[in-house]
Amino acid sequence: MKVTVVGGGIAGLTCALSLHAAGLEPRVCETARSVEAVGVGINLLPHAVRELAELGLAGQLASMALPPHRLSYRDRRGEPVWEERLGLTAGYHWPQYSVHRGRLQMLLLAAVRERLGPGSVRTGMLFRHFEQIAGGVRAHFLDRTSGLPTIEDADVLVGCDGIDSVVRAQLYPDERPSNGNGVHMWRAVSHHPHIFDGRSIVVAGGTPGAKFIAYPIEDPAAEGGDALLNWVLEVRHGPSSPAEDGHSRRITPLEAHTGLASWNLPWIDLATLVDRSTAIFEYPMLDRDPLPRWSFGRVTLLGDAAHPMFPMGMNGGSQSIVDTRVLAWCLARESDPVAALRRYDRMRRPAVNAIVRANRNLGPEEIITRAAGHGGALPTGEAEKIAAHYRKLSQATVTQVNDHPSWTVARHTPGPE
């Protein structure tokens, strides 16, 4: 079965690896003329790391990513509000990882090209539209190198083309624009000494738009040197001047220093953090309304094209990776691609839509928001209850992750439902 995957980001590349592992024939079509290691940090939760490990990437991930051991919520003074253990220290069989998004994407790209062949990822392919034809799907692209129209025929088309998905726009031509909650994120990576034990994700502040986040994504090259920290400052302000790409704008060091001037966190040198940042960009915090369907005939959506969510709980990328594994399992188990896509839709959409809605209500970060209003740590057990509820909703409790049957396709073996 041939599958056209629209989009060569983390979701699209993982989709290709998952489909190939299940015995299918995917080809990735990416708009950019080249795939480069750009971006900032991303967290992969244990349920996503399990899926990447089962795709044979455990060793490569371990060599390039850091496993955080704890999540520490703190107030604006930097004092602890609540903490929880993460990954292996929390009892999962797989770690949680913090990693540079660009390095992860290049790892996935190399794996796709090695396993599927050098022609498995076509770059410079601007997706225009699709049409469902007898026994398949025809995708129309503009080859940005030649300037000529190009057609890809396949049995199935998967839209992995992000929050502004063109595939989604064809399926839902009257959909409203993406939703903003008024929060803008200033994001960067910077060389700075490790904070705390060097294996902590720290979220300080309170309500959305008044938070500072930091975590390491790379250890120092030499003992006593600087680590590479990912950091985010959430701000609220009037509409920003539009950026050239419509999504992000460059923040000057002066602007960043001004934005951080009211913060006094004793365990991090914020001025140094800004000065050593290679580039700081502002992104609006956006999501889209949950959809009533992802799959239409032989076309479906996956990742941010299907369920863009506010970044509460570090869950967006991880859920996209799980999407790819479930989709591949469904396509391998069903002889009819249309039935397979309906099955994938039924198995994934309600659960992930629930996370989108939960993240609009702050998800697990309700803890730090309520603590700010409370003036300190919440009553005993309250924070744990909020965090446990979100993990269960995300199908990411220790038991759910450790005991779930594998999505790896194995002949004559019943799979999970």
Task: Give the other-Cβ count within 10 Å of 304's Cβ.
Answer: 27
Residue 176's pLDDT is what?
Answer: 93
d(CA 387, CA 367): 8
Residue 387 has pLDDT above 80, yes or no: yes
If pLDDT is split at 50, 70 and 90, which confidence band does 375 have?
confident
pLDDT digits 0-9 by tens, 390-399: 999 999 999 9
Count other C-beta atoms under 10 Å from residue 15's C-beta: 31
SS (H, E, C) the chain: CEEEEECCCHHHHHHHHHHHHCCCEEEEECCCCCCCCCCCEEEECHHHHHHHHHCCCHHHHHHHCECCCEEEEECCCCCEEEEEECHHHHCCCCCCEEEEHHHHHHHHHHHHHHHHCHHHEECCEEEEEEEEECCEEEEEEEECCCCCEEEEEECEEEECCCCCCHHHHHHCCCCCCCEEEEEEEEEEEEEECCCCCCCEEEEEECCCCCEEEEEEEECCCCCCCCEEEEEEEEEECCCCCCCCCCCCEECCHHHHHHHHCCCCCCCCCHHHHHHCECCCEEEEEEECCCCCCCCECCEEECHHHCCCCCCCCCCHHHHHHHHHHHHHHHHHHCCCHHHHHHHHHHHHHHHHHHHHHHHHCCHHHHHHHHHHHHCCCCCCCHHHHHHHHHHHHCCCCHHHHHHCCCCCCCCCCCCCC
pLDDT of residue 247: 60
Q: What is this structure's pTM?
A: 0.94
Identical fold at 2-68+90-177+290-403 and 180-287? Answer: no
User: If you average pLDDT over every residue of the chain, what do you get?
Assistant: 94
pLDDT in tens, 285-327: 999 999 999 999 999 999 999 999 999 999 999 999 999 999 9
Confidence of residue 238 (pLDDT cuts 50, 70, 90): low
Q: What CATH number does the domain located at 180-287 have?
A: 3.30.9.30
Rounded percentage of the chain residues whose pLDDT exceeds 90 = 89
Q: Say what the pLDDT of residue 415 is.
A: 46
Which tens digits make up the pLDDT trace of 43-89?
999 999 999 999 999 999 999 999 999 999 999 999 999 999 999 99
pLDDT band at residue 380, thresholds of 50, 70 and 90?
confident
Q: How confident is the model at residue 241 (pLDDT cuts 50, 70, 90)?
A: very low
Domain residue spans of the chain? 2-68+90-177+290-403, 180-287
Burial class (CB in 10 A: 0-12, 13-18, 19+), 149: exposed
Fold of 2-68+90-177+290-403: FAD/NAD(P)-binding domain (3.50.50)
Task: Identify the burial level of 388 via C-beta atoms within 10 angstroms of its C-beta, where 0-12 means exposed, 13-18 middle and 19 or more buried.
Answer: middle
